[in-house]
Structure 1
Amino acid sequence: MQKCEVCKNKFSWKELLLSIWSSYKPVKCSNCGKRHTISFASKFIVSFLIVVPAVIFGLLIAPGMGLTKTVTFGIIVMIAFIISMILPFFVRYEIKPKTNKA
């Protein structure tokens, strides 16, 4: 699980999950107050792990099983939800250096 880059305080699974679910909202360390933002690579991984299984199921597996569109959609949502539960173990956050806007 991800730790703060400054004080090594461990972020909770819940904090990281809520960050992912709220469009990658930055996570603030409860110990030192530093804000961590999700890395670009992690955003790609999240998108890939949600979209690819949904597309494969929706376009390849569900039609072969004869599932209705409503059932297919429900299963896709369930798949995305289950995958999102494990994402906090894989995503990486980093401290972005402040840029001076003069």
Structure 2
Amino acid sequence: MKKCEKCKTPFSFRIIYKSFWGGYKNFACTNCQSQYKFNTKDRLIGGLVVGLTTFISFIIMNSFVFEIISKLSLGLVAMLVSGIFLSALSTSLFSFELDKKPNK
């Protein structure tokens, strides 16, 4: 797990995950309140997560012969589960940098 540059406190999985799903919002270290932001490559990782989630959902939806409502329900559940799983796996790939801008 990544650590704060100032106080060496590890970032919690929960903070990173919430910040990722909140649109790459800046987050603060729980110990020293230093502000961190996502690097630009993390948006590519997020895009891959969404793309893979959509692809997995599409494959699962089309591998069963159901009525349209059942297929859509199955696709939504598959998208939800795979999205949560893939984004949880991808949090270890993210990198952060100190936000040099003052808070407003």
Shorter-normalised TM range: 0.7 to 0.9
Higher RCO (C-alpha 8 Å, min separation 6): 1
Q: What secondary structure sits across from 2:63 in the alignment? A: helix
The TM-score, its normalising length taken from structure 2, stands at 0.77
Deviation above 6 Å: which 4+ runs of structure 1? none
| Residue correspondence of structure 1 range 23-34 to structure 2 within 5 A | 23-34=23-34
SS at 1:36 equivalent = strand
User: Which residue of 2 is the match for residue 78 of structure 1?
Assistant: 81
Percent of paired sites with the same residue? 21
Higher mean C-alpha displacement, 89-98 vs 75-84: 89-98
| 1:97 to 1:13, Cα distance in 2 relative to 1, 3 A | same
| C-alpha RMSD of matched pairs (Å) | 2.0
Distance 2:44 2:75 in 1: 25
Matched residues in 1 for 2:16 and 2:29: separation? 11
Aligned residue pair count: 98
Q: Tell me the equivalent position of 2:38.
A: 38
Look up the SS of the partner of 1:65 in the other structure: coil
Structure 2 segments unaligned to the other structure (5+ residues) = none
Any gaps of 5 or more consecutive residues in structure 1? none
Relative distance call for 1:42 and 1:26 in structure 2 (3 A) is same
